[in-house]
Chains A and B, each alone.
Chain A
Amino acid sequence: MRDRVNRLMALIIQACALSSVLVLMGIFLMLLINGAMLFKEVSVFDFLTGMTWNPGAFDGPAYGALSLIWSTILVTIGAMLMAIPLGIAMAAFMSEVAPRFWRNLLKPLIELLAGIPSVVLGFIGIELIGPLLQKYLGLSTGFNALNGSILLCLMALPTIISLSEEAIRAVPFSFKEASYGLGAGKWETLIKVTLPACTSGLIASSMLGLGRALGETMTVLMVTGNALQFPHGFYDSVRTLTSTIAIELGEVASGTTHYFALFAVASLLFCLCLIINIAAEAIAAKFRYRQT
C-alpha cells in the first residue's frame, strides 16, 4: 500500500515537472510555427537584414527587422553599461563596506524599486527624464534610446544588486581572512579576492538583469519614441522588438503576413533570450571553481 502511494506521488510530481516543460515547448512551437509562415512570402535573409519595417504599406509592405533588432540591442546595451557596474558596486558596498545601518536602510529601498510598476517608470521617463535629456543634451526630443536605457537600468538594478549581494556574501570568510593576513586592505581584498571569487554569481545576476531589460515592453514603449528608423546612436529614437509587437499585434488581422511577421519577431526575441541564457551558463561555468 505504502509502496503504491509512493509510486503514485512520484508520478504526480513527475507530471507536474513535465507540464512546465510542455508549456514552454508549446509556447516555443506556437511562436515558431506561426513565425515560420512569414517565410513563405519573405525570405529569412530579408527579414533579418532588411532595414525597413513597414507592414502597413499598400504598395509593397516591408518586413525588415534589422532596425528593430538593433534598437533592442542598443537600448539593452546602454542599460547594462549603466546597471552592471552600478549594481555590482552597490552590492559590494552593501555587503562589504557599509555599516549595518546603511545596509538595513538600502536593502528594503532597493526591493521597493523592484516593485514599481513599469508604467509608473515610463511616466517618470516621459515627465522627468525626457525633458531633462532634451534640455541638457540639446536634443530635439528626449524620447530616445538613452531614455529607455536609463529606465531599463533602473528596472534591472534591483535584480542585479540583490543577486550580486547574495553572491558576494556567499564568499567564504576564510578567503578574506587569508587576504588580510597577507597585508591586504579592505579595497584590495574586495577587488582582488572577494569579487573574483564570486565571478560566476556576478555574471549570473548580470545576465538575469539583462534578461529583464531585454524583454521589458511598457517602459521602452513609452519613452523611446518608437520611430521606425535605423538608429545610429543613443540620441536617436528607437523602436524595439517588444514595442513593435505590443503596438501592432492589437490591430493586425489574424492570418495575414503582418500577423505572422509579428510572430517571427517574437520568435526572434525568444531566441535572443535563449542565447543569452546559454551564454550566461557557459561563461559562469568557465569561472566556477570547485569549492572545497
Chain B
Amino acid sequence: MSQMKLEAKGLDLFFGAKHVLKKVSIRIPDKQVTALIGPSGCGKSTLLRCFNRMHDLNPMAKLKGDVLFEGQDIHLSKAAELRQKVGMVFQKPNPFPQSIFDNVAYGLRLSQKLTKSELEYKVKAALSQAHLIDELPDLKASAMELSGGQQQRLCIARAVAVSPSVLLMDEPCSALDPISTRKVEELVLQLKSDYCVVIVTHNMQQAKRVSDLTAFMYMGELIEFSETRQLFDKASHELTRNYLEGSFG
C-alpha cells in the first residue's frame, strides 16, 4: 500500500481535565472514504478535527502524540496552509452571509492571485463538482436564501474550490432531509476519486452506503478499524457488534 494520507499515532487529547481521545492510532488511505462511527460523545468529531488543527481555536484543548499529513507532522507547518490542503465540511451548513459566488471564491481569494475570469472559472468548476451549478441561476444571490441541502453542497463546493487533497466531513447530513442527504452521499462517492474523504456519521446505514473503511470509536478509544463490509458483517470486537446491533448508541 502506498503512503497514508492521514495518520494519527498514539494521539491523546484533553479538554481541560477531560480526557477525550485516548491513545488513538489510525492510518487513513488516499482516494477512499473512511467513516468514523460510534455513539455520541465517543470522540469521533474530535478526532476528525485533529486532522486540520481545528482544536487550535480552543485554548482548553491539549494534544499529545503525532498527527501526520502525507507523512509530515501537521504541527510543523502553518495551520492556515494545512487547512487549505485539508478542507472541512461542518455539521450544520454554515455558508457566509454573502453571495453564492463570494462563498465559493472565499478560499480562492485567500490563497491564490487569480484574474477575474480565472476566478469565475474555478468557482463554476467547484459548483458543478457539487452538482449545484444547474440549480443556481443567479450566483449573486445570497447564500442564505438557499435550502439547507443546497447550503451544505455549497459548503462542499467552497471546500473543494481550493483543491484540497483531503475532505473532512463532520456529520454533513445530520441537519438535512432524506433527499438532500442522498444527494450529498452521491457527491461523497464521486469525490473519493479525487480526494481522501473522512466522514463522521452517527448513521450506520450511511457509513455502510458511502464508506470503504469504517472506524468504530467508543469512549475516546478507537475500538476497531477495518474495511466497511468486514466491520459490519463480522466485527471482531464485541463492543462493535453490540453497537451495530443497536444494543446501545
Identify the A interface with B (CB < 8 A). 172, 174-185, 188, 192-193, 196-197, 289-292
Contact = CB atoms under 8 A, between A and B. Distances in A.
Nearest to A176: B57
Nearest to B109: A192
Given A180-B54, A181-B83, A290 B111 contact: no
27 contacts: A174-B94, A175-B94, A175-B96, A176-B57, A177-B54, A178-B96, A178-B158, A179-B106, A180-B83, A181-B54, A181-B87, A181-B88, A181-B90, A182-B87, A182-B107, A183-B81, A183-B83, A183-B107, A184-B80, A188-B110, A192-B106, A196-B98, A289-B97, A289-B144, A290-B142, A290-B144, A292-B93
Contacts of A175: 94, 96-97
A197 B158 CA distance: 17
Nearest to B88: A181
B213 interface: no
A200 to B, nearest CB: 10
Interface of B: 52, 54, 57, 79-81, 83-84, 87-88, 90, 92-98, 106-107, 110-111, 142, 144-145, 148, 151, 155, 158-159, 162
B82 to A, nearest CB: 8
A182 B98 CA distance: 16
Nearest to B99: A289
B83 A291 contact: no
A153 to B, nearest CB: 30
Contacts of B57: 176-177, 180
Contacts of B94: 172, 174-175, 177-178
A178 B103 CA distance: 10
A217 B159 CA distance: 54
A258 B27 CA distance: 87
B81 A182 contact: no
Contacts, number: 74
A51 B83 CA distance: 62
Contacts of B79: 180
Dominant SS at the B interface? helix
B219 to A, nearest CB: 25
Nearest to A188: B110
Contacts of A179: 96, 106
Given A177-B57, A180-B54, A291-B97, A185 B142 contact: no
Dominant SS at the A interface? helix
Contact of A197 (B52, B97, B106): B97
Given A177-B57, A180-B54, A192-B106, A290 B159 contact: no
Contacts of B52: 181
A195 to B, nearest CB: 12
Contacts of A188: 110
Given A174-B92, A175-B94, A289-B97, A181 B144 contact: no
Contact of B158 (A172, A182, A192): A182
Contacts of A292: 93, 144, 148, 151
Contact of A291 (B87, B92, B144, B158): B144
Contact of A174 (B83, B87, B90): B90
Contacts of B159: 181-182
Q: Which of A174, A290, A291 has the most CB of B within 10 A?
A: A174
Contacts of B162: 182-183
Contacts of A176: 57
A290 B87 contact: no
A174 B170 CA distance: 13
B10 to A, nearest CB: 26
B185 to A, nearest CB: 21
A223 to B, nearest CB: 42
B54 A182 contact: no
A291 B145 CA distance: 9
A175 B145 CA distance: 16
Given A174-B94, A181-B52, A292-B144, 19 more contacts: A172-B94, A175-B97, A177-B94, A178-B95, A178-B155, A178-B158, A180-B54, A180-B83, A181-B54, A181-B159, A182-B87, A182-B110, A183-B81, A188-B110, A193-B106, A197-B96, A197-B97, A290-B144, A291-B97
Contact of A177 (B90, B93, B97, B98): B90
Given A174-B92, A177-B54, A197-B96, A182 B83 contact: yes
A47 B142 CA distance: 46
A184 B142 contact: no
